[in-house]
């Protein structure tokens, strides 16, 4: 009887350690999601800020400036539930304005334009990377949360179910080439 009790306690301890390890892993994934979301937010804010600076610099024609300024302003002011749409609209505005490769050449030819074009290019390129890191972390957490052991033992606690950030982040071709 003593041996059975010892084996039962050992098995329960092993199960407890495994569940504790799984809960810790899930917690680390949630922390990774939070960090990736902060990085994504920073990149989206940087892209909108650089776009607004370019729109108000006087380098672009008035119509392009208005389109970019309004899209960037809307992206910066969007509420969380409208953020994906506003960021997609900014991406589409950037593609529309820079559909003509000559537009980028005009920006570069203006005083300070080379630096502005470089900064915009970097900002536009980093958004898809930051979004991919965020969505990869979300995918990993979702896959782990779908396991029966996580659901049965409520290992996720009260953490909200992670949501991917879905937006159009295809950069304008002329900015992606550089």
Range of the domain at 70: 2-177
Q: What would the pLDDT profile of 100-113 be if each residue is shown by its tens digit?
A: 888 888 888 988 88
Instruction: State the number of CA atoms in the 13 A half-sphere of 41 facing the CB.
Output: 11
SS (H, E, C) 148-175: HHHHHCCCCCCCCCCCCCCCCCCCCHHH
**How distant, in Å, are the alpha carbons of 110, 139, 177 from that of 95?**
20, 28, 13
Whether the pLDDT of residue 126 is over 70: the answer is yes
Question: What pLDDT score does 178 carry?
Answer: 52
Closest CA to 155 of 145, 168, 143, 167: 145
Domain count, the chain: 1
Span 22-55, pLDDT tens digits = 999 999 999 999 999 999 999 999 999 999 999 9
Give the Cβ contact number of residue 25 at 10 Å: 15
pTM of the model: 0.90
């Amino acid at each position: 009887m003593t041996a059975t009790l010892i084996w039962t306690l050992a098995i329960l301890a092993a199960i407890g350690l495994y569940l504790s390890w799984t809960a810790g892993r899930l917690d680390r994934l949630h922390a990774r999601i939070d960090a990736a979301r902060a990085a994504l937010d920073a990149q989206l804010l940087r892209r909108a800020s650089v776009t607004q600076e370019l729109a108000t610099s006087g380098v672009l024609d008035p119509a392009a400036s208005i389109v970019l300024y309004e899209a960037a302003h809307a992206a910066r002011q969007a509420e969380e539930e409208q953020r994906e749409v506003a960021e997609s609209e900014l991406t589409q505005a950037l593609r529309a304005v820079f559909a003509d490769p000559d537009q980028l050449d005009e920006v570069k030819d203006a005083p300070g334009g080379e630096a502005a074009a470089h900064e915009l290019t970097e900002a536009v390129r980093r958004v898809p990377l930051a979004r991919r890191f965020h969505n990869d972390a979300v995918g990993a957490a979702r896959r782990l949360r779908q396991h029966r052991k996580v659901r049965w033992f409520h290992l996720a606690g009260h953490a909200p179910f992670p949501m991917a950030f879905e937006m159009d982040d295809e950069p304008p071709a002329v900015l992606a080439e550089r």
